[in-house]
Structure 1
Amino acid sequence: MKWLNYFLNFNIPFYIYKLNINDSIIFSKNTNSNQPMIILYGIVYIIKNFHNNKKTTLAILGAENILYINSIKDENCYYRMIAINKSFLISFQWKNLINTNTNLNNTIFKEFIKMYTKTNTKYEMMNTIMSHKYVKNRVIQLLLLYALDFGNINKQEIKIPHYISQYTIGKISGTTRTTTNRILRHLNYTKFVKYSTDKKIHLNIYYFHIARMKNIQV
């Protein structure tokens, strides 16, 4: 974990967060906005919650992504980061990073550019998913992008190596568990999705492409 090594070797103060599945951290107006977090390991998703009970998913982030929610001035919303699987994050303060020696600053600056670019792409991808009018399309694209990001490709299949619940899929895509269950049953019927014995999701890209070519609704 290079970031942990950076902070240890150059005596930069930091704090490690460990999140188990479905553990969360809330960011509100009172949160110290000068403490960004780098994801060392695991997968989390970020939801923006409004006090009128509306909510939207902003991104799914993994290792080498950075979470930096700047000053929250709107009292009508807050952000929640939720762990999909066991995750470790490291938080720090910008001022401690800036006060390190020049050589380290140059190295970290280059790494931060890469990390911010990678993280920004995750936000753009989620924005594309949430822009779909129909829930089914959101779920399908969410599964595809999630599997490509975090899955293992094996011939015509992409296997998600960890369990992700229907509740989590529904929450990320902005629908209920019941609707998600119905969509996944249909995707299973069309052979786009199948489950292993330990309930992990496998996506069959071959059947997905065949359905598209034949203009069959998956």
Structure 2
Amino acid sequence: MKWIKFCITNRIPYYIYRLQKEDSIILNNIKPDGFIIILSGIVYITKVFANREVSPIAILNENNIFIKNQKENKIHYTMVALQTTYIININHNIHKYQKGNILTCINILNNYKQTYEKYEVINKIVCQKQVKHRILQLIFILSLQYGIIKGQTIFIPFNLSYHNIAILTGTSKNTVVKVMKKMYAIGIKRDIIHNTILIKNILNLKLQ
């Protein structure tokens, strides 16, 4: 992988972690100049305030970058894996190693841009006033980005429990259960066995 190769070539210390599905870690050991890169897999990140309020930040995948805001002392961030994920933690200032390496600079800037867009997606979801619209938008975005099409059905190929949906849409699990029961009638269902979401008969899907 390019990030591991980059660190080895420049003798930059790094740590690699493997997260199984539903594993979570608290991101409190990132140094001021450090950051985390998703090597493979899919995770979501939440901001947890001192009063235990949880706010969704982003759903990240391969090559997305997470940088902790060092000024936020009274909060912490949590990363949850939606599927088996590998991340690399680089607790080092790499800017001095970028001089003369234009391709590395371009890669980092592109990854920053892609990550910022992921933040914007979650922000637009939680800004929806109606919970139903938040959940629908989340499901459609995940289907567009990661969905697997089989006939007229789209599968979201990773764990998406009611608990995860509740966190990512800023609502409660009970509310998600109620909304999903209503969505069943229009073809949006939950695969209990695989704990995933699927959209059936997408060509004739009618939103109510």
SS at match of 2:97: coil
Q: Say if 1:45 and 1:81, in contact at 8 Å, map to a contact too.
A: yes
Deviation at 1:145, TM superposition (A): 0.8
Deviation at 1:49, TM superposition (A): 1.4
Deviation at 1:9, TM superposition (A): 3.7
Deviation at 1:197, TM superposition (A): 5.4
Which 4+ runs in 1 deviate beyond 6 A?
A: none
CA distance in 2, matches of 1:43, 1:109: 24
Mapping 1:199-214, distance limit 5 Å: 199-204=195-200, 205-208=202-205, 211-212=206-207
TM-score (norm 2): 0.88
Would you say 1:159 and 2:155 are equivalent positions?
yes
One-letter amino acid matched to 1:143: I
* Structure 1 pair 10–177 and aligned structure 2 pair: CA distance change class (3 A): same
Deviation at 1:94, TM superposition (A): 4.2
Q: Which of 84, 104, 107 in structure 1 is aligned with 2:82? A: 84
Gaps (5+ residues) in structure 1? none
1:41 aligns with 40
For residues 54-88 of structure 1, what are the alpha-carbon distances to aligned partners after superposition, in whole Å with 9 as ceiling and x for unaligned? 2210111111100011213342x222111122111
Q: Say if 1:191 and 1:207, in contact at 8 Å, map to a contact too.
A: no
CA distance in 2, matches of 1:53, 1:80: 12
Mean alpha-carbon deviation: is it higher for 132-141 or for 160-169?
A: 160-169
Q: Percent of aligned positions with the same letter in both sequences?
A: 31
Q: Say if 2:154 and 2:198, in contact at 8 Å, map to a contact too.
A: yes
* Structure 1 pair 53–98 and aligned structure 2 pair: CA distance change class (3 A): closer
2:146 aligns with 150
For residues 142-163 of structure 1, what are the alpha-carbon distances to aligned partners after superposition, in whole Å with 9 as ceiling and x for unaligned? 1111121222234543211223
SS at match of 2:37: strand
Q: Say if 2:143 and 2:155, in contact at 8 Å, map to a contact too.
A: yes
TM-score (norm 1): 0.84
Q: Which of 101, 121, 126 in structure 2 is aligned with 1:125? A: 121
Aligned length: 207
Mean alpha-carbon deviation: is it higher for 145-154 or for 126-135?
A: 145-154
1:173 aligns with 169
Mean alpha-carbon deviation: is it higher for 138-147 or for 166-175?
A: 166-175
For residues 165-195 of structure 1, what are the alpha-carbon distances to aligned partners after superposition, in whole Å with 9 as ceiling and x for unaligned? 1111112212222221222222122213353
CA distance in 1, matches of 2:181, 2:65: 35
CA distance in 1, matches of 2:168, 2:69: 22
CA distance in 1, matches of 2:82, 2:194: 16
Mapping 1:98-113, distance limit 5 Å: 98-100=95-97, 102-103=99-100, 105-113=101-109
Root-mean-square deviation (CA, aligned residues, Å) is 2.2
Mapping 1:21-40, distance limit 5 Å: 21-28=21-28, 31-40=30-39
1:17 aligns with 17
1:5 aligns with 5
CA distance in 1, matches of 2:87, 2:177: 31
For residues 1-29 of structure 1, what are the alpha-carbon distances to aligned partners after superposition, in whole Å with 9 as ceiling and x for unaligned? 2222322344332110111222222235x
